[in-house]
Amino acid sequence: MASQALLEFQSSNQSQLLPPNATSCDDAQEAWDLLHRVLPTVIIAICFCGLLGNLFVLSVFLVSRRRLTVAEIYLANLAASDLVFVLGLPFWVENIWNKFNWPFGALLCRVVNGVIKANLFVSIFLVVAISQDRYSVLVHPMASRRRRRRMLAQATCLLIWVFGGLLSIPTFLLRSVKAVPDLNVSACVLVLPHKAWLVARIVELNMLGFLLPLAAIVFFNYHILASLRRQADVRRTRCGSPTDGKTTALLLTLVAAFLVCWAPYHFFAFLEFLFQVKAIQGCFWDSVIDLGLQWANFFAFTNSCLNPVIYVFVGQLFRTKVWELYKRGTPTSLPPMSLSRRKDILRIFWRN
């Protein structure tokens, strides 16, 4: 199962790493062959676009002479999280091309998968922080004037990175390079010491990594949209100025893109858990879950290179910042030449 080899939280034992032709459920062989041919190229394209796009976004935010706003602090951290994520993808491209024989050693097996796992939590927690910030600005503007500080935003981002790192500790401890005799390879797999870890893993992944943050995101954004509707007839108010409206449109688009990209993965990860505990069985579910996880990986990977595109096409204030940096880096035009000076130059030219 190639999807089990791509992300740390998709593999719980060695048998899950096997491709369909190593199991009794081989009726989807053509679909697997197609995905195995296409997936590495797709991952490379996503990595390349995500690397360039997120580096561009970070450079725009960090090179600017103005101090970052609270919203921009969260957006810069989200771009940094996406950048860290795509840096781990080339390892898995080589892993797939190497027929799942992990060539980088046990240390990188743990580090690469641990970074990917931490990124999942950091990204969703940052989306929650972004939603909460917009909620404070639009729904409770007076309180947000007292509480909304850059230092608080920076501290929040630091805590999110630390918490994401702590949640990835089991990956660092339990990931290992083990021999898979059926494939004749040494694969980077997650070795769980007890079946109880299956429940702990799905609670951590689905509950902490998606459902609880999703509930907070839905709550905040429901009230944000309700507040925007109430302010629709007001062209410019203290908390609903054009600047806030443009920023809110950008952030709502980022939230929607994140949910669309990551929801399929968490759905199929939960189905995988049900299959592992034998709540659902059979070759049909085996094929549906494995192929579904493959496509879910594609959507999850895409989110890391989609965010910079959203900044450019939806973020009008971001485009303004880019234009300001462009004008600052462009040499100023020469001052207009006086008529007498122009005549002197022409006279010297014709004499020579």
In tens, the pLDDT along 173-230 reads 888 888 878 768 888 888 888 777 888 888 888 899 899 998 998 898 888 888 877 7
How would residue 234 be classed by pLDDT, with cut points 50, 70 and 90?
low
How would residue 333 be classed by pLDDT, with cut points 50, 70 and 90?
very low
Q: How far apart are CA 311 and CA 61, in angstroms?
A: 11
Strand pairing class (185-190; 175-180): antiparallel
Higher pLDDT, 34 or 118: 118
Higher pLDDT, 6 or 162: 162
What are the start-end ranges of the E strands in 264-344? Answer: none
Q: How far apart are CA 250 and CA 313, in angstroms?
A: 9
Give 3-state DSSP helix, strand, coil % of the chain, rounded to 5: 75, 5, 20
Q: Is 140 helix (H, G, I), strand (E, B) or coil?
A: coil
Q: How far apart are CA 285 and CA 25, in angstroms?
A: 10
Higher pLDDT, 264 or 239: 264
Higher pLDDT, 266 or 100: 266
Q: How many angstroms from the chain centroid is the CA of residue 100?
A: 24
Q: How far apart are CA 320 and CA 51, in angstroms?
A: 22
Q: How far apart are CA 189 and CA 95, in angstroms?
A: 12
- The CATH code of the domain that includes 53 is 1.20.1070.10
Q: How far apart are CA 120 and CA 178, in angstroms?
A: 25
State pLDDT tens for residues 144-181: 565 568 889 999 999 999 999 999 998 888 888 888 78
Range of the domain at 207: 2-351
Q: How many angstroms from the chain centroid is the CA of residue 32?
A: 26
Percent of the chain at pLDDT > 90 equals: 14
Q: Which of 332, 328, 275, 268 is nearest to 300 (CA)?
A: 268
Instruction: Count CA atoms within 13 Å of residue 68 on its CB side.
Output: 21
Domains identified in the chain, total number: 1
Q: Is 177 helix (H, G, I), strand (E, B) or coil?
A: strand
Count other Cβ atoms within 10 Å, centred on residue 279: 10
Percent of the chain at pLDDT > 70 equals: 73
With a cut of 80, say whether residue 328 has pLDDT above it: no
What are the CA-CA distances from residue 137 to residues 146, 210, 240 (Å)? 11, 24, 9
pLDDT at 350: 43
With a cut of 70, say whether residue 18 has pLDDT above it: no
Q: How far apart are CA 281 and CA 274, in angstroms?
A: 9
Higher pLDDT, 325 or 269: 269
State pLDDT tens for residues 271-323: 988 888 888 888 888 888 878 887 787 788 888 888 877 876 676 666 666 77
Are 342 and 334 in contact, with CB atoms under 8 Å apart? no
Q: Is 241 helix (H, G, I), strand (E, B) or coil?
A: coil
Q: Which of 92, 114, 117 is nearest to 104 (CA)?
A: 92
**Which tokens go with 236?**
């410019």
Nearest-10 Cα torsion for 99, 104, 108, 110: 40
Backbone φ and ψ for 189, nearest 5 degrees, come out as -130, 165
Q: How far apart are CA 114 and CA 33, in angstroms?
A: 28
Q: Which of 79-88, 137-146, 181-190, 252-261 has the highest mean pLDDT?
A: 79-88
Count other Cβ atoms within 10 Å, centred on residue 70: 22
Question: Radius of gyration over alpha carbons of the chain, in Å?
Answer: 25
